[in-house]
Structure 1
Amino acid sequence: MRNKTQVSATTVRLLENARYEVLPTGTIEDKVLEHVPVEVTVTVTASPSKGLEPTLDLTERLTGHGYTAVPHLAARMVRDRAELAEIVDRLTGKGITKIFVPGGDADPPGAYPDALSLLEDLKDMGNPFAHVGITGYPESHPTIDDDLTIQSMWDKRRHATHVVSNLTFDAQVLANWVKRMRKRGITMPVLLGIPGPVDRAKLLSMAGKIGVGESTRFLAKNKGTFARLAAPGGFTGEKFLRKCAAELGDPAMGVEGTHVFTFNQVEATEKWRKELLASSR
């Protein structure tokens, strides 16, 4: 059993290595500039209803402001190899070295039915990005068998540098999932997906504005999770994060930081992170 000091130290490490996921709406750039320290990495989601352009545009603008910005290149939203080559040239031309490649929700898809097929084409293009994230599913995926999600990570491991876990609220489930990956030989670092503070009204409003995207898709298909997130007073995750720190304290487990689903509530998220850091030190 890890003691309180060890758990606190791990909690601090996970929070210091946090990155924030945002949705590319019209007001989010100003909110990030006002409330998010430039040293915090910001990832930008992609929505089938909006297309990739808002994702790429916001990524470029945040990069211009000095942030490390990571676009979500949802594979099913990329039309074909020619468009992928254009995206690569566009991003690398701006000095962007990190991407996140989920499968995405576009239906029907373009030339890429899944993340692996897009990752293979990126390899053929000379692996233009130094850091490539892929999705992991600690909980059962709504439409994919558990064994297939682990197999998918195994297949993609040669093309990626880290795994971003989807939302879960069970620290033991998360620990068992990481152990299962490690036994399979998947050694990539993991970023723990957690929600920041969530207000019910704002969350519902955001879901309506952006459409079903990488964050809201999960909530739409996991109504129990939505209910817990949207409970009065919101969900901040302190207890959950500390439980994760207790379960995943061994550095060999390879959980190196957090991927915070902000739902664009970046002011509240940064306030929460600072307060939790202060109380854990």
Structure 2
Amino acid sequence: MSTNERQQLRHYLHHARYEVLPLRGALEQAQDLPEGTTVTVTSSPAKGIEATLDLAARLRGVGMHVVPHLAARLVRDNAHLKELLDRIHGLGFTEVFVIAGDADQPAGGFTDALSLLRGMEEIGARPYRVGITGYPEPHSFIPDRMTIQATDEKARYADYIVSQICYDPNTIASWITAMRERGVRLPVYVGAPGSIDPTKLLRISMKIGLGQSMRFLRKQHGVVGKLLSRYTPETMFEELSPYIVDPEYNIAGWHLFTFNEITRTRQWAVETADRLQEVPA
């Protein structure tokens, strides 16, 4: 690995984005992060938008750069969307991350992220920066052609893409290549689990339907659970390093899914960055 690659890797580790869930204890753990760290706060039908914005406001109060998730299927109509965007602006947030959300039934006419992005454009209350999700491998229940089309259409309204969890570096690189060939030039943050308990990570991976990634793990190592017990984002990132330093890929950095193991993930990032600083023998 070249010196430049090591510097890039260290930079991305020190400036990683941390995704957290609006659950008890998240605020206390997040205070272990350096001031100014980008922290994204998820949204779910169970907790609702209020829980997301409440934790987001508290995190901003302790010096974080906060990005609340805005779930389309929890927004009732244009008036509700305008109310939320005004509130987001009033709380001092300059960035949102737009997702479809997991609600079985939409609260109104916004059924997916694209419809919400279009709604934001129509009412003219778009935050300064907007992020969207990208899928390196097929979605668990949406046909691949539809996720490709949706990514291309959503990209017109967004400033960056965060990739969904994928354990195969080659799949991630191929997905970025395909997007660039289609003309989608938005910077990509590579989404990866942080330092997570392997049992939890396996459960989450199965729940969100990472079929192709799980098959990759079996092929490479035979036993999925055994691999996940050794999984670190560093391994994947090292394999992606040739693409990271290639400006054609426009990889912007890490997006670490902490599943609220924030302190542990931060410790991993610091220790990994320190190891990368060491000159190899």
Q: TM-score, normalised by structure 2?
A: 0.88
In the TM superposition, what are the counterparts of 1:187-226 in structure 2 within 5 Å?
A: 187-200=185-198, 216=204, 219-222=207-210, 224=214
- The amino acid of 1:250's aligned partner reads D
Change (3 A) 1:41 1:229: farther
Change (3 A) 1:203 1:217: closer
User: How far apart are the structure 1 equivalents of 2:241 and 2:262?
Assistant: 23
The one of 164, 185, 202 aligned to 2:162: 164
Residues 1:250 and 2:220 aligned together: no
Give the stretch that moved more between structures: 9-18 or 173-182: 9-18
Change (3 A) 1:129 1:157: same
Residues 75, 102 of structure 1: 8 Å contact kept: yes
In the TM superposition, what are the counterparts of 1:57-68 in structure 2 within 5 Å?
A: 57-68=54-65
Tell me which residue corresponds to 1:53. Answer: 50
Tell me which residue corresponds to 1:210. Answer: none
Secondary structure at the counterpart of residue 250 of structure 1: coil
Tell me which residue corresponds to 2:220. Answer: none
User: How far apart are the structure 2 equivalents of 1:164 and 1:218?
Assistant: 20
The one of 4, 7, 11 aligned to 2:5: 7
Tell me which residue corresponds to 2:66. Answer: 69
User: How far apart are the structure 2 equivalents of 1:232 and 1:116?
Assistant: 33
- The amino acid of 2:152's aligned partner reads W
Residues 82, 125 of structure 2: 8 Å contact kept: no
| Structure 1 residue 233, shift from structure 2 partner | 4.1
Secondary structure at the counterpart of residue 271 of structure 2: helix
- The amino acid of 2:159's aligned partner reads T
RMSD of aligned Cα (Å): 2.3
- The amino acid of 1:24's aligned partner reads P
Residues 175, 248 of structure 1: 8 Å contact kept: no
Tell me which residue corresponds to 1:213. Answer: none
User: How far apart are the structure 2 equivalents of 1:89 and 1:102?
Assistant: 18
User: How far apart are the structure 2 equivalents of 1:31 and 1:265?
Assistant: 8
Unmatched tracts of structure 2, length 5 or more: 218-222
Give the stretch that moved more between structures: 124-133 or 16-25: 124-133
Q: What do the CA deviations read for 1:56-94 (whole angstroms, capped 9, x no partner)?
A: 111111112221111111111112222111111111001
User: How far apart are the structure 2 equivalents of 1:29 and 1:55?
Assistant: 12
Change (3 A) 1:58 1:179: same
User: How far apart are the structure 2 equivalents of 1:143 and 1:182?
Assistant: 25
The one of 124, 132, 137 aligned to 1:126: 124
Secondary structure at the counterpart of residue 72 of structure 1: strand
User: How far apart are the structure 1 equivalents of 2:194 and 2:240?
Assistant: 15
User: How far apart are the structure 2 equivalents of 1:126 and 1:170?
Assistant: 39
Change (3 A) 1:220 1:156: closer
User: How far apart are the structure 2 equivalents of 1:41 and 1:196?
Assistant: 15
The one of 10, 16, 19 aligned to 1:18: 16
- The amino acid of 1:188's aligned partner reads L
Q: What is the number of equivalent residue pairs in this alignment? A: 268
Residues 189, 251 of structure 2: 8 Å contact kept: yes
| Structure 1 residue 31, shift from structure 2 partner | 1.1
User: How far apart are the structure 2 equivalents of 1:130 and 1:229?
Assistant: 41
Change (3 A) 1:31 1:256: same
Secondary structure at the counterpart of residue 166 of structure 2: coil
Q: TM-score, normalised by structure 1?
A: 0.88
User: How far apart are the structure 2 equivalents of 1:218 and 1:9?
Assistant: 34
- The amino acid of 2:69's aligned partner reads H
Q: What do the CA deviations read for 1:145-191 (whole angstroms, capped 9, x no partner)?
A: 22221211111122100000001111111111001001111111000
Secondary structure at the counterpart of residue 254 of structure 2: strand
